[in-house]
Amino acid sequence: MGSDPPLRGDQALLEVDDLTVEFPGIRALDSVRFDIRPAEVHALVGENGAGKSTLLKVLGGVHRPSSGEVRLAGARYRPRRPADALAAGIAVIYQEFNLYPDLTVAENVFSGREPHSAISRGIRYAEINRRTSDLFTVLGVDIDPTAAVGGLTVSEQQLVEICKALSVDGRIIVMDEPTAALSADEVTQLLGVVRRLRDEGRSVVYVSHRLDEVFALADRVTVLRDGRHIRTCDIADTDPDGLVRDMVGRDVESVFHRDQMSEGKVVLELAGVSAGRRLRDIDLTVRAGEVVGIGGIAGAGQPELSQLIFGALAIDFGTMSLNGEPFKPRNPGDAMARGIGFLHEDRKAAGNLPDLSIRQNLTISVLDKVRGAFTRLLAPAKESDVYAGYHRRLNVKATGPDQLIGQLSGGNQQKVLLGRALAPGGKLLLLNEPTRGVDIGAKAEIHRLINLLTADGAAVLMVSSDLPELLGVSDRVYVMAGGEIVGHLTGDDRTEENVVACATTGRRVFSEELTKR
Amino acid sequence: MINALKKVPLLVPLVLVMAILALSTDTFLSVGNLENVLVAAAILAIPGVAMTFCLAMGEFDLSIGSTVSLAGVACCSALIAGLPLAFSLLAALGVGAFIGLANGLVITKLGVTPFIATLATMVIVRGASLAYTDGHDQIVSSPGLKYLVAGRPLGIPMPIVLAVAVAALAWWTINRTRFGRWVCAIGSNRDAARMSGLPVDRIRIAVYVLVGLSGGLWGLLISGQLQKGNGQLGLGFELDAITVVVLGGTALLGGRASIIGTVLGAVMIETIRNGLNLLNTPPAYQRISVGLLLIAALALLALRRRERRGAGPNRVPARVQESAA
């Protein structure tokens, strides 16, 4: 494929040669090569299923290669368990953190290696707290070592994981999608931390779907596709379009392309809605045929707002109306019966039914539609019809309708769950992070689908922490902070600067008022 | 054939155990003995089938052994008081359903975990049964109650008729009805089920009522066999009921159900018990063997589950082809 600069053996800290990893029936990595130099940020990109996670898990001592070799500082590196990798100075931070929520930050950082008194065996808390706090100083962040990890934000937990890697003096720190769940601000902070790590002489392998981060951060980039090595080059020698081409093996049309909306009648209206301390005095409207985005830093109440509309969170004050009629759902079943479809932001925790097939996952909300009229029994033929319809629209890549959903790539899982949200045929869709952890090809398809749905007259309320998506896909954007709506951006006001300013500085921007002036 | 073995992995060990018993004893293969095994298995399969729903939902019910006792006591004391047979039978089933409803409400509405909630009802119900009988047997002589266990419509032992009917209905429910699909969905991921609009709490309560009902029926069969009810009946039965389900391959963490597996699990346990009897093994060793079986079955299930689901979301990146659209 692309031409690579020749590797000089003395330059590489870690070298991967001809690495092949096979699982029953699947070759996850096929003769892959990869190398890491001292004090560099090396980005690893590729679509879901390209083999990035497998490569990380080989480095981290989780998977063992079927053939090929990994060398660390010239010596053969064959970790047999995660502890071996740590001992060799390679720390892998997986997307799902390995933290104990009930323990303190310092206890987590030194978990398994607690310095303790020789006599009483008691942990030296003063020491671990001090050392943890020193490490945070190195990272340039401020987190209390004695706080319980469960109470931290996702981004702070990420920093605890990084701190853990530093505490074992990790020379190579591997991060898998570190920004997937972070807000724009937190991403900026994390990028700063990664740069500090590099300046300290450590090497970072950075796996991300977000190419803007890759270009902001990386010294070199390696592209994997279908388990094969496609290209390794200096970041200066490529551009986003080129990387996307390498990742998908074809040209992808501009990801965010939104047709002009025609304003329809109001579908959903919230007036002065509050729920506990999480949502305060929310006013909001969504019209037929438009995509309304909800932005803000993580934890500002965005998912709670959509859950409230879906009946999964009780409303304390205020009123909602749906198609002009009062609307007060007691549970998600109520909301669905009124034609609302819902996509949860966390596929694993509240999306997938992992023991069920993709067809069963798709039809679970609409089993009434696939029952015999007289027998009331599930009719497999009807179920297959429903599946076939969505399968074509969503372009799910699977071996067949009976494949278990857990065996699909993230993007395809997401398409199935999107199908579940659409299946009730509702005219209002609440989509939370519709493309989180989804590869570029699937992302474009999902955006195209949203476009089609609104063209058909559906109203979409989309929560997204991905700023380009939020601004590119939405016709209007509400920004939330601290459970309140602090901004409403339309037209030319829809800029990253406005979203970030509203979300973080307490400034309020309401487009209607601007236009009145 | 190979597919059938994959779906019901218990078939191979079961045939193996039977072959060993056939070779090592003279009596195992006699018609009378085989009938004893099957009748015992049928009695155990009835609560096992109900418990299958519970485990498929990712939960379990420890109180069923106590339900056996209280339901038997309810039926027997009603008969002793001179009430009609039909009323006495319904009293036992009603007691079972009520205990199930109580379990379901405590678990869903009060948010107590199933383990603790049913452990508590197990003790409470056992205590109620002991208190009501004051430690005495409630002895009856009821041909009608006896018919439930010893009757032979068309020459087939009644428990087998009942078990086949219950198992067929359950298979149908799990595989062909909305309720069955819902149960598996809840067991697979309860939060996802809730966010898919399923009436999760109502379904969970219904399943506990089912298990309670089956405990009531089990109590009738046991009391029918012994022609008495007392506070000691059904001790340790909860483990039997759960073990047959696990042996049958219904994962303890939920999401799947194998009714055929449960029925075979009941046959397996009763075959082993029968074999140990024929080989003159003391009853204490039978208990040990049930415990060991439970551990072995769980270990195998854990192994299979790891293979099937993978440890993480992207552990095995599936390379897939476009399926025919």
- C-alpha A420/C-alpha A306 separation (Å) is 17
Q: Which of A333, A350, A360 sits opposite B191 (nearest CB)?
A: A350
- C-alpha B156/C-alpha A468 separation (Å) is 71
List of chain A residues whose C-beta atoms are within 8 Å of the C-beta of residue B254: 355
Which DSSP string corresponds to A396-422?
Answer: ---S-TTSBGGGS-HHHHHHHHHHHHH
Task: Express each pLDDT in B170-220 by its tens digit.
Answer: 999 999 999 999 999 999 999 999 999 999 999 999 999 999 999 999 999
Helix and strand counts by DSSP (H, E) for chain A: 18, 21
Task: Please tell me the number of Cα atoms within 13 Å of A204 on its side-chain side.
Answer: 29
List of chain A residues whose C-beta atoms are within 8 Å of the C-beta of residue B308: 404
Beta pairing partners, B23: none
**3-state SS, one letter per residue, for A215-266:** HHHCCEEEEEECCEEEEEEEHHHCCHHHHHHHHHCCCCCCCCCCCCCCCCCE
Place B309 in a pLDDT band, splitting at 50, 70 and 90: low
Which DSSP string corresponds to A448-470?
Answer: HHHHHHHHTT-EEEEE-S-HHHH
Over its C-alpha atoms, chain B yields an Rg (Å, rounded) of 20
List of chain A residues whose C-beta atoms are within 8 Å of the C-beta of residue B309: 354-355, 404, 406
Task: Please tell me the number of Cα atoms within 13 Å of B307 on its side-chain side.
Answer: 8
Q: Across the interface, do A349 and B191 touch by the CB < 8 Å criterion?
A: yes
Task: Express each pLDDT in B11-51 by its tens digit.
Answer: 888 888 899 888 888 888 898 999 999 999 999 999 999 99
A152-155, long-range: CB within 8 Å, 24+ apart, which pairs?
A152/A105, A153/A186, A153/A298, A153/A299, A154/A181, A154/A182, A154/A186, A154/A298, A155/A181, A155/A182, A155/A183, A155/A186, A155/A189, A155/A190, A155/A298
Q: Across the interface, do B195 and A54 touch by the CB < 8 Å criterion?
A: no
- C-alpha B135/C-alpha B212 separation (Å) is 23
CA distance A73 to chain B (A): 28
Task: Please tell me the number of Cα atoms within 13 Å of A435 on its side-chain side.
Answer: 25
For residue A251 the two structure tokens come to 């040209």
Looking at the complex, does the CB of residue B7 fall below 8 Å from at least one CB of chain A?
Answer: no
Least reliable range by pLDDT among A359-373, A390-404, B78-92, B108-122: A390-404
Hey, which residues 58-97 in chain B have their CB within 8 Å of chain A?
none
For residue B229 the two structure tokens come to 């009810």
Q: Which of B194, B317, B320 sits opposite A54 (nearest CB)?
A: B317
Share of chain B above pLDDT 90, in %: 66
Cα-based distances in Å from A202 to A13, A14, A42, A143: 10, 12, 11, 22
Task: Check if the beta carbon of residue B57 is closer than 8 Å to that of residue B211.
Answer: no
Q: Which of B188, B195, B310 sits opposite A332 (nearest CB)?
A: B195
pLDDT at position A436? 83
Looking at the complex, does the CB of residue B191 fall below 8 Å from at least one CB of chain A?
Answer: yes
Q: What string of pLDDT tens digits covers the 517 residues of chain A?
A: 444 444 444 478 999 999 999 876 678 899 999 999 999 999 998 876 688 888 999 999 988 899 999 999 889 999 988 888 988 999 998 887 888 988 999 999 988 888 888 888 888 888 899 999 998 888 888 889 999 998 888 888 888 988 888 888 889 999 988 887 677 778 888 899 899 989 989 999 999 877 888 999 999 999 998 889 999 999 999 888 888 778 877 655 545 556 666 678 999 999 999 998 889 999 999 999 999 999 987 778 899 999 999 999 999 999 999 999 999 999 999 999 898 999 998 888 888 998 899 999 999 998 888 888 888 888 888 888 888 888 888 888 888 888 888 888 778 889 999 999 998 887 899 999 998 878 778 888 899 889 888 888 899 999 998 778 888 899 999 999 888 999 999 888 888 778 877 876 667 888 765 443 3
**3-state SS, one letter per residue, for A465-488:** CCHHHHHHHCCEEEEEECCEEEEE
Chain B residue at shortest CA distance from A344: B195
Please, what are the domains in chain A? 1-89+211-252 (3.40.50.300), 266-356+409-516 (3.40.50.300)
For residue A63 the two structure tokens come to 């998977």
**3-state SS, one letter per residue, for A43-105:** EEECCCCCCHHHHHHHHCCCCCCCEEEEEECCEECCCCCHHHHHHCCEEEECCCCCCCCCCEH
Looking at the complex, does the CB of residue B111 fall below 8 Å from at least one CB of chain A?
Answer: no
Share of chain B above pLDDT 70, in %: 90
- C-alpha B153/C-alpha B91 separation (Å) is 24
Residue with structure tokens 């002589």? B141
Torsion of CA B217, B67, B169, B34, to 10 degrees: -60
Q: Tell me, what amino acid is at A337?
A: A
Q: Which of A344, A407, A409 sits opposite B195 (nearest CB)?
A: A344
Q: How many CB atoms lie within 10 A of CB B111?
A: 8
- C-alpha A301/C-alpha A313 separation (Å) is 12
- C-alpha B293/C-alpha A303 separation (Å) is 46
pLDDT at position A198? 92
Task: Express each pLDDT in B232-257 by its tens digit.
Answer: 999 999 999 999 999 888 876 678 89
CATH topology for the B2-303 domain: ABC transporter involved in vitamin B12 uptake, BtuC (1.10.3470)
Query: Is a pLDDT exceeding 60 seen at residue B324?
Result: no
- C-alpha A471/C-alpha A486 separation (Å) is 16
CA distance B108 to chain A (A): 15
For the residues B269-297, what does the mean pLDDT come to? 86
List of chain B residues whose C-beta atoms are within 8 Å of the C-beta of residue A310: 195
List of chain B residues whose C-beta atoms are within 8 Å of the C-beta of residue A413: 313
Q: Which of A23, A50, A354 sits opposite B316 (nearest CB)?
A: A23
For residue A228 the two structure tokens come to 């094969």
Q: Across the interface, do A350 and B309 touch by the CB < 8 Å criterion?
A: no
Looking at the complex, does the CB of residue B168 fall below 8 Å from at least one CB of chain A?
Answer: no
CA distance B264 to chain A (A): 22
Q: Across the interface, do B181 and A409 touch by the CB < 8 Å criterion?
A: no
Beta pairing partners, A284: A270
- C-alpha B275/C-alpha B20 separation (Å) is 9
Looking at the complex, does the CB of residue B135 fall below 8 Å from at least one CB of chain A?
Answer: no
Is the pTM higher than 0.90? The answer reads: no
Query: DSSP code of A206?
Result: E
Chain A residue at shortest CA distance from B192: A350
Residue with structure tokens 């053996």? A9
For residue B141 the two structure tokens come to 């002589």
pLDDT at position A505? 64
Contacts of residue B163, Cβ cutoff 8 Å, sequence gap at least 6: B41, B42, B43, B45, B46, B49, B263
pLDDT at position A515? 44
For residue B249 the two structure tokens come to 């391959």
List of chain B residues whose C-beta atoms are within 8 Å of the C-beta of residue A410: 313-314
Query: Is a pLDDT exceeding 70 seen at residue B1?
Result: no
For residue B53 the two structure tokens come to 């729903």
Residue with structure tokens 């409400």? B105
Which DSSP string corresponds to A325-362?
Answer: EE---SSHHHHHHTTEEEE-S-HHHHT--TTSBHHHHH
Indicate the SS3 state at residue A214. Answer: helix
- C-alpha A312/C-alpha A336 separation (Å) is 11
Q: Residue B273: name the closest of B250, B289, B262 by CA.
A: B289
For residue A422 the two structure tokens come to 């659409």
Q: Tell me, what amino acid is at A26?
A: I
List of chain B residues whose C-beta atoms are within 8 Å of the C-beta of residue A391: 323, 325
Beta pairing partners, A293: A462, A477
Q: What angle do CA A437, A441, A442 make, to 5 degrees?
A: 55
